Each structure stands twice: as structure tokens, then as C-alpha cells.
Chains A and B, each alone.
Chain A
């Protein structure tokens, strides 16, 4: 299993998701041993779907470049676009990239309900790591308290590491999802 690195262009349209996901899956399947790929096939597929959905919903641009890297330990899927930078809401303030101090010091809660919490932990002015906390299952709960936003949480839970980077020089947003195989 050699190291491979391939780029694929995603044109932002819901009509393109199905064929694009299959194209990326084919690249990965050709380069990752089935014993390593099959147990992670659901994760790989859902991560690609969610990155596509995220691109269409939030980037406000027409296309993004997906970078696929595989080796004997990891499948790495990155999405790069030159659309709107990721933003965080902290204490009713919108924090945009590049972040400014002191907001880079503490993880910011992105979403929280009775089942889980998703956090963004800045590691520099231009990069953050998504982390999640699984809550103990409540004995009873009110479904009305459930949130309806799952995209980033799904990627964070499927991956060994999930990060966002903002390249100031090229004004590029890079979401990188790393799946351990």
C-alpha cells in the first residue's frame, strides 16, 4: 500500500454529490487494501458526503478541490475552497479567521444538546481542531431539546482528527478529515 495523493474538483451542486462521492471512493478503494477499507467504508462515504454538503451550504463559492491521501495508517480527505472563512460564535460575538487573541485560548462550543457537545479548539490564529464530548445517555429527555445541525459533528465522530485551516496568503479554507484505518 503506497502513499498516494490525488486531487479531485467538486463543482458545488447537489446534482453532483452522488457521482463525486463515488469517484472519491473509487480512488480510495483502488489504493487501500480491502481489509483496511471495508471496516471504514461507511465513515469514508459519510465524511465525503458531509464535506460536499458543507461546501454547498456554507462556502458561498462554486467549487472546491478535494485532496485524497492514503497510506498504511490513514485516509486523509481535505476540502479546499476560496469561499467564506469559517466563523465561530462566542459570547454572542462572531469570530472570523484569522482569529485574534484572546479568543484563540479557549475551545468554543459549536453545538450542544443532551447527547453530545461539539467544540472548536483553536491551535493557532489560523487553525482549529474539532473535538466532541459524548454525554451519558439521559434517563429521559425531551426531543424538543435536540439540535438539528449534525454535519460537523458527524465528521468529528467519524475521524481520528478533523481540522480547519485558513491560509491567509491565498484566502483558502481547508477542512481536513483524517480517518485511521
Chain B
């Protein structure tokens, strides 16, 4: 299982369970996100709390998922980026594309 899903009142939390968000998981992540979005068109927050690094393939899958989400009137934000991942987002200006939460918005699970 690449991530676990936890519905909240205003968003759906997608907590990545892999330490290495790389090309080994990119396609699966994209496919699973499409399934989720097809099921429920809500804002999603992807938590990188367990993730040590992200490579370009996984980043591409994240962008692809965002594009799909927007086409379905949903949205994707990210949370808990470590220093290296935050630097990566900033480097290629993904910080202009994704809303970045330091922590999760304070809400109770639905």
C-alpha cells in the first residue's frame, strides 16, 4: 500500500507510507490518486511526513494528479515537506503550483 486515506471534514488526507517517493511508486501513486478523485471530488492534502526524498518521476506523477484533480473540480495540496523536499519544490517553483501546509489544518476527522 503506497498511502492511507483519512477523510476529514473539509479535505481528504492522503498519507504517503513510502520512505522513497521515487519512480518505483510514481505510476501506482498516479493510478491510485485517479481512483480516489473519481470516487470523491474534494480537496486532497498529500502528507510527506514519512518521506525522505522525492524524485522527478514521483514529482511528475504529483503534477499529473493535480492536473487530473483540477479537471474534476478537486484540488491537491501537500504537507510535511522536509527541508530537502521543500528545497526541491522551491527550486522548480512547485511552491507556486501546490499549496504547501507545514502541518495539517486543525480539524477533527469526519
Contacts and interface: CB of A to CB of B under 8 A. Distances in A.
Interface residues of A, number: 30
B71 A144 contact: yes
Given A14-B22, A14-B23, A148-B64, A143 B70 contact: yes
Nearest to A46: B88
B48 to A, nearest CB: 15
Interface stretch (A3-11, A85-93, A149-157): A149-157
Given A50-B55, A143-B67, A144-B70, A153 B92 contact: yes
A158 interface: yes
Counting chain A CB atoms within 10 Å of each CB, the highest count among B53, B55, B67, B71 belongs to B55
B88 A53 contact: no
Contacts of A143: 63, 66-67, 70, 97
A53 B67 contact: no
- Chain B interface size, as a band, is 20 to 34
Interface in B85-110: 87-88, 91-93, 96-97
A41 B22 CA distance: 19
B84 interface: yes
Q: Which label, helix, strand, loop or mixed, suits the secondary structure of the B interface?
A: helix
Nearest to B70: A143
B77 interface: no
B92 A49 contact: no
Contacts of B87: 42-43, 46
17 contacts: A18-B20, A42-B87, A42-B88, A46-B53, A46-B88, A49-B55, A50-B56, A53-B57, A116-B92, A137-B93, A143-B70, A146-B63, A148-B63, A150-B59, A150-B92, A151-B57, A154-B56
Interface of B: 19-20, 22-24, 52-53, 55-57, 59-61, 63-64, 66-67, 70-71, 83-84, 87-88, 91-93, 96-97
Given A146-B67, A158-B91, 12 more contacts: A17-B20, A45-B84, A46-B84, A56-B23, A115-B93, A137-B93, A143-B67, A143-B97, A148-B61, A148-B64, A151-B55, A154-B88
In the A-B complex, the 5 residue pairs with the closest CB atoms? A148-B60, A151-B56, A14-B24, A150-B56, A42-B87
